[in-house]
Amino acid sequence: MDSVKLQDRVDTKFMFRETILSQVLKDMMKDYKVLEVANYRYSNYETLYFDTDDFSLYRQHHNGKLNRFKFRSRKYVESDLHFFEVKFKSNKGRTVKERIKHHEIVKELEGQAKDFLVETSGHDPNIYKAQIWVNYRRHTFVSKTTQERLTIDTNLTFINEKDRKTYEGLVIAEVKQGSSRDKSPFITLMRKYRVRPKSISKYCLGVISLHPEIKQNRFKPTLLYLNKLLTT
C-alpha cells in the first residue's frame, strides 16, 4: 500500500450491477492482491462532505470547472481512524489529495481542520458546513505488476438531516493510477464485461439524490445509465 498511495493520480471509474461482482473478483485474482487489515478484507467508510449553503462546490463540478476542491471528513469504521481531507482536481485532469489525522470525525470546521483547509486551498472555512454523509463498504486491491490501486465500493448510502437514499445492488469501481498511459488489467477486464467508464463523484451523486431540485443537466446521461442499470 505504501508504494501505491497515489495522492497525485489519474482516476477511472466504473459502475455495474452487484450480480456480476463475484465473477469479476474471480477474474481479478491473477492480477491483484487484496488489502487485509486485522482480518478484515473490507472497510466501512463514513464520509462527511462540506459545502456552502448554495452548494457552490457541487455547482463547480457540475459546470465542469477544473482546479476545484472538495472538503471532507472520513472515518474508517473497523480501524476507528479519522482524517480530514482536501481533494483537488487540477486542470490537467489529475486528482491530488492531502489529509491530516484527527481524533474523531470532523463535523464542524474549527481548530486543526480549519487551519488545514486554509493552508491547502486558500478558501474561507467560515462559508462551509457539513452537508451530506456518503457511506459505503470498500474493498481495496493493489496490482501485482503496475503502480495501481483499485477500490470496489458497495452498499452506497447518502444521508442528510432530512432524508436517506441507498443504492442497493450498485458497485462503483475506481482505478487509481500514477499515469493514464499505464495498462490496467481491471480496465481490460471491464471491456470483457462491456462496462464502460462512467465518471460521477459520489458526492455529486449524493447531492442529486437528496436534492432533486438542484441543477443536474450535466449528469443526466450518467443518471439515465444508473437508473437503467438498477432496473433492468
**pLDDT value of residue 8:** 57
Domains contained in the chain, number: 1
pTM of the prediction?
A: 0.90
**Contact predicate 9/95, CB 8 Å:** yes
What b/e string do you get for 148-169 counting C-beta neighbours within 10 Å, with b at 16 or more?
Answer: bbbbbbbbbbbbbeeeeeebeb
Residue closest to 140 by CA, chosen among 36, 11, 45: 36
**pLDDT value of residue 66:** 87
**pLDDT value of residue 180:** 67
CATH classification of the domain holding 211: 3.20.100.30
What domain range is 220 assigned to? 2-231
**pLDDT value of residue 2:** 57
**Contact predicate 203/49, CB 8 Å:** yes
**pLDDT value of residue 11:** 85
Print pLDDT tens along the chain (232 aa). Answer: 555 555 556 889 999 999 999 999 999 999 999 999 888 899 999 999 999 999 999 999 999 898 999 999 999 999 899 999 999 998 887 888 999 999 999 999 999 999 999 999 999 999 999 999 999 999 999 999 888 999 999 999 999 999 999 999 999 999 988 766 778 999 999 999 999 998 888 999 999 999 999 999 999 988 899 989 998 7
**pLDDT value of residue 200:** 80
Dihedral (Cα; 65, 148, 182, 200), 10-degree rounding? -30
**pLDDT value of residue 39:** 87
